[in-house]
Structures are given as structure tokens and as C-alpha cells.
Amino acid sequence: MAGEEKKISAQLLGKTVVSKSGKKFGEVGDIIFETKSGELIHLVLKNPTPYTEKMELEKDKEGNILIPFSAVIATGDFLVLAEEDIV
């Protein structure tokens, strides 16, 4: 089971992140998770768009924008966010 979860989360890397209204946020650069439970906590954005840069979102120590994984409402060719859940 743990191997399957690892495989699924690895497939998220590089996917484009968009809001349900179609606004592009950037791409998934990394995933932050709780090591004991395996719970996904944040997506780390790479190549954030100017729209995303203007938002005052949480950042890590390196200045990378963090998106709460709880805001993700769908995955497929894109990761779709409920924008109201991240602000």
C-alpha cells in the first residue's frame, strides 16, 4: 500500500495547478507530507504565475509558495484547487 501511495504522489509532480475557475497557479514542484501518517500537507509550487505571486500565500524558508493539499478538489491532467480554500 505505501508503495502505491508513493507512486500516486510522484505522478503529481510537474502537473499544472489551476483553480476551478481556470486560473493557472503554476506547477507542482514538490509535495510536503507528514512522515508518520503519510498525509499530504502542502504542494510546493514551481514556476508560479504572476497571478499567484500577487496572492499572499504561505511560503517555505526558501520562498517557495505552498498550497494546502486540502484545497485540491480534483486530479487528472491538472490539479484543480478550490481557490476559496487557500486564501
Could you tell me the domains of the chain? Answer: 2-85 (2.30.30.240)
pLDDT confidence of residue 1: 38
Best CA proximity match to 18, nearest among 87, 74, 60? 74
Cα separation, 24 vs 11, in Å, equals: 19
Tens of pLDDT, residue by residue, the chain (87 residues): 354 455 567 788 999 999 999 999 999 999 998 888 888 899 999 999 999 989 989 999 999 999 999 999 999 899 999 998 887
pTM for the complete prediction? 0.85
Q: In this predicted structure, what is the pLDDT of residue 7?
A: 53
